[in-house]
A and B are shown apart, each in its own frame.
Chain A
Amino acid sequence: MAELKIIRTAAEEGLAEAFQGARASLPGAASVKSLRESAFRTFETKGLPNRRVEEWKYTDLRTLMRDAKPLAPPPDSVARLKAKSAGAFAGAAKARRVVILDGVFAADLSDLAGLEPGLTIGSLGEALSSGDADVVARLSRRSALADDPAFALNTAMMSDGAVIRVADGAAVARPIHLVFVTSATKPVSVFTRCLVSVGKGGSLTIIESHDSGDSVDNQANHAFDIAIADEGRLDHVKVVREGDRALHVASVVTEIGANAHLNAFTFTVGGAVTRNQTAMRLNGSGTHAAIRGATLLKGRQHADNTLIADHAVGHCESRELFKSVLDDESRSVFQGKIIVQPHAQKTDAKMATHALLLSENAEADAKPELEIFADDVVCGHGATTGALDGDLVFYLRSRGIPQTEAEALMIKAFIGEAVEAVENEAVREALMDLARAWLRARA
């Protein structure tokens, strides 16, 4: 019998070397180290996901990742200076800033004074080093994305991140802004993991933004592990503003209890290649969960939003709405799967994705899937792709509104339908400002 030889790509070789080089110094005691080893074996067995892997069909990392960039060095004073101005777009939200700079939880750049009662914010790296039992237990739990190569790689390589906990009954009014910055002018890679838990009846708003410079082909692999207890509420707005050559792969695993509320929104305007993947599971009835997003792309940008909404119990409502606006040769991908487990009766799940093509060379791929094993449910999905309506543009122009302005008005209205679901008004306005800036740059 011939021996099976696995041929690795240069990027896979590079990642293996990076893991070999870093394994001894990555934070965490024996139990965490064994998690890392096991996760890396998962990654090695599967390799970088490619188009033959259904979940990654439209975002072939094996092709898109030519090599593996070196791990980011610890941030220096220049890096710190860059971090100070990052994330200013959300200033009006008056959020508490927590900076993750070059993959490192930067306590000295973060606003950690006067935390509200019941709120704790810490570094994941420190939690791993000190053997925080709760953190280790959470990482040891089998995740819905455990077999995903990008998430497995994150588990193997995660160096730092934020651990945010909201105690039972604590309503944290002031939003937390997690400001991720990659400051390097030469390509680097970062691996972060954030843990967020909202206790029973607690509530929290998180803004998460990602910035990096143009012309640097950085590689970021981020992961969020979110747990919302019964009657808890989390509003989570993510903004991807990476540089024009950046690769951004992010995984979010969310577990939600009963009578809880999740309102998530992902806004993608930057990056060369962006993948936002979410696996959400509803474990208690009476919960309302929404995942929405808007994507504005130009040039040859590629953005992929892939999500799974798993209704493990009945009597829950889930909503997904993704809108993308695509200019030039850009491409958006939406893959959404709704799973309704047996006995998850009275599930109400709706999913929709709409793409607006501003150029003949733009492409939108949409793949909605329903896997329903219960019989008394209301589930639906819809997908549309099209150009701007010529009759509509003419109507606006006949009133004296020039072409570009007419298009801008329609594009704002188009994404506005998704953006308006963002609860925080200042954040909503900040997102529309980013959209307006995008439209101005286009004109």
Chain B
Amino acid sequence: MPLLKIKNLHVEVGGKKILNGLDLTVEKGQVHAIMGPNGSGKSTLSYVLAGKDGYEITEGEILFDDQNIAGMEADERAAKGLFLAFQYPIEIPGVATMTFLRTAVNAQRKARGEPELSTPEFMKRVREAAAGLGISQEMLRRAVNVGFSGGEKKRNEILQMAMLQPRLAVLDETDSGLDIDALKIVSDGVNALRSPDRAFVVITHYQRLLEYIVPDFVHVLWRGRIVRSGGKELALELEEKGYAQYQDEAA
């Protein structure tokens, strides 16, 4: 049974059709990269997976663990093990990062019928995860993402992922706005979480990220559907030739 199976997915946002019969199957342990130009539907795919309001599925289905998640709220999906690393992480004034992490971890545990983490156990896990990402204790005390640089925000996303230990992580343009050092830290953080039980869908514009997070499969998203799939070499080909070649195919 695949971890994620998207079948003939059609999605409208504000009456405008964005996804147009998308198919994707992700098995445990795999890393899939989704590449495509602006407006091809990359972010829509990430939001519809995470369960954002206003993204209407008009046809097709999304099966997570063989279960249709269309009717599930975002928090239920998260508790089932789905995680979205945002392209533009949101600032939450007045809520300390530590409080936020703890609330999220315990809310998910509660939803799964697991006991809450004790304070020492939680602190230990945060410290370990934060150290690997170069996140200071001072940053953890600050309000979530408030006053964080672009790189700090992305590292904070990966910290949340490390704490929540999802089974499927969708990374939406995690490389955008990162310099090469930050890109390396973030990629190392992601690679450390790779495991046979966990899968990743890495959405990106550029091949550069895939040098650090090496995918098993690369898909080309074009006008709301996947028009080509291949191995990691496909990313190099796209880098070289661009997306122009799909212009004719789709027309």
- Tell me whether B78 and A399 are in contact (CB under 8 A): yes
Question: Is A373 an interface residue when CB atoms closer than 8 A count as contact?
Answer: no
Which residues on B sit within 8 Å (CB–CB) of A131?
none
Supposing A394-B52, A398-B50 touch, asked if A403 and B94 sit within 8 A by C-beta, the answer is no
Stretch at the interface among B32-40, B103-111, B231-239: B103-111
Which residues on A sit within 8 Å (CB–CB) of B23?
none
What's the Cα separation between A392 and B143 when bound, in Å? 13
Q: Interface residue tally of chain A, by bracket?
A: 20 to 34
How far apart are B90's CB and chain A's nearest CB, in angstroms?
Answer: 4
Supposing A399-B160, A399-B164, A401-B104 touch, asked if A394 and B74 sit within 8 A by C-beta, the answer is yes
- Tell me whether A405 and B95 are in contact (CB under 8 A): no
Which residues on A sit within 8 Å (CB–CB) of B100?
396, 399, 409
- Tell me whether B92 and A392 are in contact (CB under 8 A): yes
Which residues on A sit within 8 Å (CB–CB) of B99?
409
Question: Is B121 an interface residue when CB atoms closer than 8 A count as contact?
Answer: no
Question: Is B212 an interface residue when CB atoms closer than 8 A count as contact?
Answer: no
Question: Is B79 an interface residue when CB atoms closer than 8 A count as contact?
Answer: yes
- Tell me whether A409 and B75 are in contact (CB under 8 A): no
Supposing A397-B78, A399-B164 touch, asked if A405 and B94 sit within 8 A by C-beta, the answer is no
Question: Is B2 an interface residue when CB atoms closer than 8 A count as contact?
Answer: no
What's the Cα separation between A406 and B143 when bound, in Å? 15
Question: Which partner residue on chain A sits nearest B112 by CB separation?
Answer: A400
Q: Interface residue tally of chain B, by bracket?
A: 20 to 34
Which residues on B sit within 8 Å (CB–CB) of A400?
75, 78-79, 104, 107-108, 111, 164
- Tell me whether B53 and A413 are in contact (CB under 8 A): no
Question: Which partner residue on chain B sits nearest A395 by CB separation?
Answer: B90
Question: Is B230 an interface residue when CB atoms closer than 8 A count as contact?
Answer: no
What's the Cα separation between A414 and B95 when bound, in Å? 9
What's the Cα separation between A413 and B143 when bound, in Å? 10
- Tell me whether B94 and A402 are in contact (CB under 8 A): no
- Tell me whether A405 and B86 are in contact (CB under 8 A): no
Q: Mark B48-76, 1 if CB is under 8 A from A, else 0.
A: 00111100000000000000000001110
Give the most central of A402, A412, A414: most B CB within 10 Å. Answer: A402
- Count: A-B pairs, CB below 8 Å: 75
What's the Cα separation between A390 and B100 when bound, in Å? 17
Q: Mark B132-172, 1 if CB is under 8 A from A, else 0.
A: 00000000000100000000000000001000100000000
- Tell me whether A416 and B94 are in contact (CB under 8 A): yes
Question: Is A3 an interface residue when CB atoms closer than 8 A count as contact?
Answer: no
Question: Is A391 an interface residue when CB atoms closer than 8 A count as contact?
Answer: yes
Question: Is B93 an interface residue when CB atoms closer than 8 A count as contact?
Answer: yes
How far apart are A400's CB and chain B's nearest CB, in angstroms?
Answer: 4
What's the Cα separation between A365 and B58 when bound, in Å? 42
Interface residues of A in 331-359 (CB under 8 A from B): none
Question: Is B84 an interface residue when CB atoms closer than 8 A count as contact?
Answer: yes
What's the Cα separation between A412 and B143 when bound, in Å? 13
Chain A binding surface, main DSSP class: helix
- Tell me whether A391 and B90 are in contact (CB under 8 A): yes
How far apart are A146's CB and chain B's nearest CB, in angstroms?
Answer: 40
- Tell me whether A401 and B107 are in contact (CB under 8 A): yes
- Tell me whether A395 and B75 are in contact (CB under 8 A): no
- Tell me whether A403 and B75 are in contact (CB under 8 A): yes
- Tell me whether B75 and A402 are in contact (CB under 8 A): yes
What's the Cα separation between A401 and B106 when bound, in Å? 9
Which residues on A sit within 8 Å (CB–CB) of B104?
396, 399-401
Q: Mark A150-165, 1 if CB is under 8 A from B, else 0.
A: 0000000000000000
Question: Is A417 an interface residue when CB atoms closer than 8 A count as contact?
Answer: yes
Which residues on B sit within 8 Å (CB–CB) of A412?
94
What's the Cα separation between A80 and B192 when bound, in Å? 65
Supposing A399-B104, A400-B111 touch, asked if A409 and B86 sit within 8 A by C-beta, the answer is no
Candidates A398, A410, A417; contact of B51 at CB < 8 Å: A398
What's the Cα separation between A272 and B63 when bound, in Å? 50
What's the Cα separation between A23 and B114 when bound, in Å? 67
Give the most central of A390, A397, A400: most B CB within 10 Å. Answer: A400
What's the Cα separation between A129 and B78 when bound, in Å? 69
- Tell me whether B92 and A397 are in contact (CB under 8 A): no
Supposing A400-B108, A400-B111 touch, asked if A413 and B93 sit within 8 A by C-beta, the answer is yes
How far apart are A249's CB and chain B's nearest CB, in angstroms?
Answer: 32
How far apart are B100's CB and chain A's nearest CB, in angstroms?
Answer: 8
Q: Mark A58-95, 1 if CB is under 8 A from B, else 0.
A: 00000000000000000000000000000000000000
- Tell me whether B107 and A395 are in contact (CB under 8 A): no
What's the Cα separation between A403 and B74 when bound, in Å? 9
Other than A395-B90, A398-B86, give 7 A-B pairs with Cβ distance below 8 A. A396-B104, A397-B74, A399-B107, A399-B160, A402-B107, A405-B103, A409-B103
Can you list 26 A-B contacts (CB < 8 A)?
Answer: A391-B90, A392-B90, A394-B53, A394-B74, A395-B86, A396-B92, A397-B78, A398-B52, A398-B74, A398-B78, A399-B75, A399-B78, A399-B100, A399-B108, A399-B160, A400-B104, A401-B104, A401-B107, A402-B73, A402-B75, A402-B111, A406-B75, A409-B99, A409-B100, A410-B95, A417-B94
Interface residues of A (CB under 8 A from B): 390-392, 394-403, 405-406, 409-410, 412-414, 416-417
